[in-house]
Amino acid sequence: MLLLSKQDFCRFFRRCSSVRPFFGSISRSFDSNGVDGMLLILIALVAGFFIGCLLDRLVSSIVNFIHEKEKGTEIGAISCAPARQTFFAREFPLKGISALLAGYIHPIFKNGRNLEFLTVKTSLLVLISSVFSGIVAWHFGATLNGMAALLCLYFLISLGFIDSGTGYLPDCLTYPFLWAGLLVNIKAAFVPLHIAVISALSAYLICRTANAVFRFVTGNDGMGYGDFKMIAALGAWFGWICLVFIVIMASLLAIVIGLVGIFSGRTRFEKFFPFGPYLSIATLPILLYGRILMQTLNDFS
């Protein structure tokens, strides 16, 4: 049983008070780092924009592939087949940045205010990629941990948008996400490697077992197999302590959104809904402040 003394609470509030408000901390960062800090964030914003354009091509290709396959027959795990048909393999090696400029930048100057070519999904994906790239660059700086955090961010964006559009989490992204988390933590970027391995394995087995029990009782699956793999990948990245918070926050968020949809008449109670977007959203604060959370819990223990 965890007992918290008065001294524990004092340490907790001192640690929380050291986490500066977002906008104030940005201004102080500029004061301390000068032009270098501003330049780093600016580069991250621009790079995040272009990477967001690439991710939009990847997401659109996989979503279209899944929808086409759904028309013919029921599908299970999505292999790497759609990835071989994406913009990366077909166009980008040949056309490079010019293809992105032709698809996203040139129409802005050509059409002026008529930006119908930018769908809501595309605009949101590119905006999230750009803004959060700047936030991650500000938080981690020009470090290896910062590069790893950006890689995790782009996986989260891709998986979240693909799951929201199709209800599937493709193996061609969940497996690399899992292996990337283990490779990153070889040097304990977020957690020690042994904790990452144990967390990933335990998370997958617990999810599979819970789903098997649920299916035995109700006759239906409670979660998709892609959700198991994404949760295991998050365990490989952040360890079991942060994973518990991620799953709890994602579940609460999904319940709130689901209840709002049911009461508004937009969603039926029996309808399945994708869990990947909620996992992605819940992971973002852990990506930035997971170490503070673990340090605080270690102090309490």
Q: Which residues of 83-98 are buried (b: 16+ CB within 10 A; e: fewer)?
A: beebbeeeebeeeeee
pLDDT tens sequence across 137-171: 999 988 899 999 999 999 999 999 998 888 888 88
**Strand, helix or coil for residue 62:** helix
pLDDT tens sequence across 193-251: 999 999 999 999 999 999 899 888 888 887 888 899 999 999 999 999 999 999 999 99
Residue type, 265: G
Rounded to whole angstroms, the Cα distance separating 237 from 191 reads: 7
pTM of the model: 0.77
Find tokens 């008449």 and name the residue.
Answer: 265
Residue type, 143: T
